[in-house]
Structure 1
Amino acid sequence: MKPPTPSFYSLAWRWHFYAGLLVIPFLILLSLTGIIYLFKPQLDQLMYADLLQVPVAEQRLSADQQLAVVKQAYPQATIQQYLPPTEAGRSAQFVVDHAGQGLNLFVDPYRGTLLGSQDAQSNLQAIARALHGELMIGTLGDRLIELAAGWSIVLLVSGVYLWWPRGSAGAGVLWPRLASRGRLFWRDLHAVSGFWGALLLLFMLLTGMTWTGFWGAQFAGAWNHFPVAMWDAVPKSEQLAGSLNSSTRQTVAWAVETTPLPLSDPHAAHNGQVMPDTSPVTAAQASLQQVVDTAAARGVLPGYSITLPKGEQGVYTVALFADDPRNDATLHLDQYSGAVLADVRWKDYGAVAKTVETGVMLHEGKLFGLANQLLMLAVCLLVLLSAVSGLIMWWTRRPQGRFGVPPLRHDLPRWKTAIVIMLLLGAAFPLVGASLLLIWALDWLLVRVGTVRGLVRG
C-alpha cells in the first residue's frame, strides 16, 4: 500500500529542524562577535585610551616626521598603512609588518613619541572580525558563513510559516505567556522572539551576504560598474581594490572592491613631475605628507587610511570607508609624481551599490550613531534568545540517544507557495541550493528506509 503524501506543514517542521541544527551555532557566534564589533568605538576607548588619546599641542608634526619615528623604532619593518589623527586629541596610527607579524603602532603627532603597539591580528576587534567573516580559517570559513547565512533564510521562511497564526493572534503568538512553565514557556520565547526579529534578521543576513567570497563576489561583479572613461587614461594592474581588504581590517568600501588598482609610472620622477619634497622619504617618491595634503585638498574627511605602495608600480591609496557612505572616498595616487590616477566617490556609485553601502552601515550600527547601535544590539539579542530557546526545546524533547527529527504527519494540506519560496532561495543562493538538494535526498532516503522497516514489521 502506498504511504500517504506528507503535508507541507510537517515537512516544514523537518526543514526548520535541519536548518536550526545547521545554523544555530553560527547564529550564536555571529551575534556575539557582531555585538563586539558593533561597539568598537566604545570598547576601543575603554581598552586603549592610552594609545588613542594625546594632549593637544600647538604644532602637529608632518606625516613624514611621524613616519620617521616609526622607522627609527622599527628599522626593519615594512610600513603598510598610515591612519592620520581623526581629530585634535587623537594619535596617528601606522600598520606595519615586523618580522612577519602585523603591528598597529600609535604615534603622538605633536611630540613625535611612540605611544605603544598592538598585535594587528590578535586584538579583540581583529579576532571578532575574523571570526565573524571567516571563522579564522580563511576561504573554507567564508564559505561556511555564507552557507549558514543562506540556511538562516530557510530557517526564517519555515519558522514564519510554522508561527503563522491559524486561530486568534495574541498570547504565544505576539507575546510570550510568561506564566507558563516547561516546554510551553521555551516555545513561546522561541516563536515570539523569532517573529519580532525576523525581518531585521533577514536584513542583517542579506547585507552580510554581500561581503561573502562566493555569492557576494558574484553579486558585486554583476552590479558594481563604473563609467569606463574613469579608467581610460589610467594604466591598470591585474589586482583589484578589494585586495586591500582583509579579514581583520576593512580598507576600501564594498562598492569599489571590483575596481582595478592603477599602476604608478616609475619614469615620472625623471619627467619633472615630482613635487618639492623636504621629508626623509626617498627624493624620487612623493612624500606621505603630499598624499595627506592631496586628500585634504580633495575634500576627503578625517577617518581615512593611506595604504603605501607595494613595489615599483604600486600606488598610494587614500580610502575612507565612512560611517555615512555619502562621504566615501577612494583615491589612487602615483607614488612618484603624486598625481591622482583615480578618484571614486558616492556620486559614482550605481543605485545597487548605494543601497548596499547604506545597508552595510546600518548593519554595522554606524549610520545613526548610538540609536543604530542599540537597534542592532536588540536584533542580536533577539537572535540569541531565539537560538538558545530553540536549543533548549530540542534538548528537552529529543528521544534518548537520537537527534529527534520531527516525524512526518499527513493531516494538513500542502502549502505550494512555500515550496516555490524554497526553490527560489535555492536558485538565488547556489551553495544553499546544492545543500538543500543534498539534505532533501538524505531525508527522502531516511523516510523511505523508515517506511520499509515499518511495512516489514507490520
Structure 2
Amino acid sequence: MKQPKPNFYNLAWRWHFYAGLFVAPFMVMLALTGIIYLFKPQLDSLMYSSLLNVPAGHHTVPADDLLQKVKSAYPRGQVTQYLPPANAERSAQFVVKNAGHELNVFVDPYHGDILGEQDAKQNLQALARAIHGELMIGTVGDRLIELAAGWGVVLVVSGVFLWWPRGQAAGILWPRLNSRGRVLWRDLHAVTGFWGAALLLVMLLSGMTWTGFWGKQYAQVWNVFPAAMWNNVPTSDVEAGSLNNAARQTVPWAMENTPMPMSGDHAEHMAHGGMQHGPAAPIISLQDVQNIAVERKVEPGYSITLPTTATGVFTIAVFADDPRNDATLHVDQYTGKVLADVRFEHYGAVARATEIGVMLHEGKMFGTFNQIVVLLICLMILLSAASGVVIWWKRRPQGKFGVPPLRHDLPKWKTGVAIMLVLAVVFPLVGASLVVWLLDRLLLSRLGRQTESASTSS
C-alpha cells in the first residue's frame, strides 16, 4: 500500500518540533533570567539596602565634592558616570573603572561618606541581564539569542496553526483536566501556548530590537531623526549606543544610532593642548551639568556620563520606566551649552511604539501590574517547555530519542508555506538556518537514495 504523501500540517508539526528542540533551552534561560531582572527594584532593595538607602537630610554635598571623595578613594581609578540620588532617601552613585574592574560606588549625598562598592558586572542583576542579552559570550551569544528568538516566532506561528480548532472546544480553549497522561500534557501545552501566543510574540519582537543583527537593521530603518537636529553642532563618528553595554543601559534604544556631538571648535581644542583626542579637560563642573538636568526637568533617575576625550561631551540620559519621560542631552564640556536635547516627542512613530514595547517587556510601564503580567508570561514559557518535553517523551519512537511519527489524516494548509517564507525574509538568521536545514535534508535524502540504489543493484 502506498504511503500517503505528508501534507503541510505534518511539515508545520515538524517545524514546530525542531524549533522547540532548539528554542526550548534558550526560552527557559530567558524566562529565568527575565524573572530575576523583572524584579530588580525589589531585589535591589532587599539585597543592597545598606548601599542604596540613606536617611533624608537637609543639605546635599555638591556633586564635585562627592566626585573628589571618590577620586581620593580610588586614586588610580577613572570615574566614567555619576548617578545623582533618585529621591531624598537614596544614595548617589559613581561608576569607576579601577584595576580592570568596573565598580558601582555608593556615596551618602548629605555627608559625602562612601557607603561601599559593588562590581558592576558581577552582581546578580548585571549577570542576569548579560546572560539574557548575550549569554555572557559577546557577539556569538547575541546571535544565538537572536536566532532562538526568531525561531521562537516560528514556534508560536506553527503552534497556533497546530492548535487551530477543528470542531471542538475541549482541549482547545481550556484543558481537559479530567484526562490523564499525554492528553492532559498536550492540552496544557496547547491551551497555555494559545492564550499566551500574542503576549509571547510581543515579548519576542520587543526583545529582538536589542539584538546586534536584526535589531541594528531594524533601528537603521525605523529609528531616524531629522538631520537638522544636529545641523548646528559638530558631530563625531561615535554613536550614542556606545554608552550601552550588556550589563548597563544608559541611553534609550531610540537614541542608540544617533551621532555623539563634539565639544568646542577647533580653535578651542588647540587652546587646550592641540590634541582633539587627548584626555578630557572639562571647564564646567559636574554640579553645573546636574543643574542643567534639573533646569530642563529631566526625570530623577538619570545618569551623567563624563567625557573621556578633549572633544567628548557630558551626556545626561534617562531610560525612563514611562518612555514619555525619556531624555538624552549632550552638553559641551567647555561652555556648558546643550548641544542636543532629545525627548520622546522627537521620536518617530515606530520608535515610540518600540520604546513602549521595551518597557512592557521589562515590566516597568505599569508598575507591579506589568511585573505580574510578565511573570505570568515567563511561567507560561516554563510550563510550555516542560509540557512539550513530556509530550515528546511520551510519543517518541519506542526506546529511541527520535522524532515522533508523522500523521497523514489531517488537512493541508497551503498558505503556510508563504507565511514561513515571509518569516524567513523578516528574520534573516531564521531564513539562513532554514536554508541550511533544507539543503541538509535534500543532500541526505539524495545520498540515502543513492545508497539504497547501489545496494539494490549489487
Q: TM-score, normalised by structure 1?
A: 0.93
Once the two structures are TM-superposed, the CA of residue 198 in structure 1 deviates from its matched residue by: 0.6
Aligned match of 2:257: 258
- From 388, 391, 394, the counterpart of 2:392: 394
CA distance in 1, matches of 2:89, 2:407: 66
Once the two structures are TM-superposed, the CA of residue 400 in structure 1 deviates from its matched residue by: 5.7
1:244/1:401 CA distance change after superposition, 3 Å: farther
Once the two structures are TM-superposed, the CA of residue 179 in structure 1 deviates from its matched residue by: 2.6
Once the two structures are TM-superposed, the CA of residue 181 in structure 1 deviates from its matched residue by: 2.1
CA distance in 2, matches of 1:313, 1:149: 39
Once the two structures are TM-superposed, the CA of residue 442 in structure 1 deviates from its matched residue by: 2.6
User: In the TM superposition, what whole-angstrom CA distance separates every residue of 1:206-265 from its partner, at most 9, and x where no partner exists?
Assistant: 111111100100010111111111111111111100010000000001111110001112
Aligned match of 2:168: 168
SS at match of 2:131: helix
Once the two structures are TM-superposed, the CA of residue 391 in structure 1 deviates from its matched residue by: 1.3
Once the two structures are TM-superposed, the CA of residue 414 in structure 1 deviates from its matched residue by: 2.5
Is residue 89 of structure 2 the alignment partner of residue 89 of structure 1? Answer: yes
Once the two structures are TM-superposed, the CA of residue 283 in structure 1 deviates from its matched residue by: 8.3
CA distance in 1, matches of 2:369, 2:312: 41
Aligned match of 1:191: 190
1:257/1:235 CA distance change after superposition, 3 Å: same
1:384/1:447 CA distance change after superposition, 3 Å: farther
Q: How does 1:330-409 map to 2 (within 5 A)?
A: 330-399=328-397, 402-409=400-407
Contact 1:268–1:337, Cα closer than 8 Å, also in 2: no
1:239/1:400 CA distance change after superposition, 3 Å: farther
Aligned match of 2:318: 320
Q: How does 1:99-110 map to 2 (within 5 A)?
A: 99-110=99-110
Moved more, 335-344 or 200-209: 335-344
Once the two structures are TM-superposed, the CA of residue 413 in structure 1 deviates from its matched residue by: 3.8
CA distance in 1, matches of 2:320, 2:397: 52
Percent identity reads: 64
CA distance in 2, matches of 1:334, 1:228: 19
Q: Cα RMSD (Å) of the superposition? A: 2.2
CA distance in 2, matches of 1:159, 1:270: 64
CA distance in 2, matches of 1:329, 1:116: 29
Aligned match of 2:218: 219
1:65 partner amino acid: D
Once the two structures are TM-superposed, the CA of residue 399 in structure 1 deviates from its matched residue by: 3.1
Gaps in structure 1 of 5+ consecutive residues? 272-281
Contact 1:51–1:115, Cα closer than 8 Å, also in 2: yes
Once the two structures are TM-superposed, the CA of residue 76 in structure 1 deviates from its matched residue by: 0.8
CA distance in 2, matches of 1:3, 1:184: 27
Gaps in structure 2 of 5+ consecutive residues? 272-279
Contact 2:269–2:310, Cα closer than 8 Å, also in 1: no
1:224 partner amino acid: N
Contact 2:34–2:128, Cα closer than 8 Å, also in 1: yes
CA distance in 2, matches of 1:119, 1:30: 23
CA distance in 2, matches of 1:352, 1:15: 31
1:67/1:452 CA distance change after superposition, 3 Å: same
Aligned match of 2:137: 137
2:69 partner amino acid: V
CA distance in 2, matches of 1:454, 1:385: 43
Contact 2:38–2:362, Cα closer than 8 Å, also in 1: yes
CA distance in 2, matches of 1:451, 1:165: 38
CA distance in 2, matches of 1:408, 1:181: 22
Aligned match of 1:290: 288
CA distance in 2, matches of 1:28, 1:284: 47
Aligned match of 1:277: none
- Number of aligned residue pairs: give it: 447
Divergent runs of 4+, >6 A = 449-457
Aligned match of 1:154: 154
Is residue 124 of structure 2 the alignment partner of residue 115 of structure 1? Answer: no
CA distance in 2, matches of 1:247, 1:379: 23
Once the two structures are TM-superposed, the CA of residue 404 in structure 1 deviates from its matched residue by: 2.0
Q: TM-score, normalised by structure 2?
A: 0.93
CA distance in 2, matches of 1:402, 1:8: 25
